[in-house]
Amino acid sequence: MPDAVSLLPILWLIDSARYVVAASLMTAVLAVFWRAGLAERKLQARRATAGDIGREVVLSLRTTLVFALVTVAVLIAARHGWVMIYWNFDKAGPLYLVLSLAVMLVAHDTWFYWTHRAMHHRRLFRLFHRTHHLSRTPTPWTAYSFSVPEAIVQAAFVPLFLACVPMHQIGVALFLAIQIGRNVMGHAGVEIHPPAFAPGRWLGWNNTTTHHDLHHETGRYNYGLYFGWWDRLMGTEHPDYRRKFAAFALRRRPVKAEPAE
């Protein structure tokens, strides 16, 4: 146990670096391609202020500390055999790695939908989720801007999943990379997805930036993370989502974009 606990600063640095790199890359993409067409895909007229972004970064770094603490708990649990992480391909081959990663993503989307929707209940919202919705106009830096209780809920998925499903360490690393990547994409504030992601098209089962941006703008609807399955099944998809995505990604109506500063 002392050895695992001593890793906390390193684990916090790793989690923080994952967040900072992902958010920085998305911010750089938006800046580089702004005049090449992304300006016309800005989803809200309002701009996040420097104060908004500063708050998001501070809160996100607090969230990565919570994540690091949970990782310490996972390492301790793995040492005692309470969760199942393996380190080579002797127990299962690459095909299992791919399949288990797919299962983990689907399970995480389910966890996220139902916990996210629960946190919008009036008796839970202020304690759990109000902090995240201070970012009404999200930016890539909004990704981990959580209260401590919400950060614990979000972090709890990994040890719970590992207690049920063995995962290769590469699979866990890929999951964490995909999770933060999709998170910053959802909070980009600009529709970065191509027309193939429109509902009804071949990638339309994936959520887009418009999908999550509408959630922040309205404070309702669109509770899913990666996929639109649960929102469509449960009737919680924003009624204007398809039209708004078409307006920005398919250019089906003229959209006046706020000029870049």
Closest CA to 44 of 256, 195, 246, 206: 256
* Domain map (residue ranges) of the chain: 2-83+91-249
13-33, pLDDT tens digit by residue? Answer: 999 999 999 999 999 999 999
Residue 6 belongs to what H/E stretch?
A: helix 2-6
Residue 252 pLDDT: 58
Residues 144, 59 contacting (CB under 8 angstroms): yes
Token pair of 149 as six digits: 């209780």
194-231, pLDDT tens digit by residue? Answer: 999 999 899 999 999 999 999 999 999 999 999 999 99
Q: At 227, is the secondary structure helix, strand, or coil?
A: strand
Rg (CA), the chain: 19
251: left (phi over 0), alpha (psi -120 to 50) or beta: left
One-letter amino acid of 254 = P
pLDDT level of residue 259 (50, 70, 90 thresholds): very low
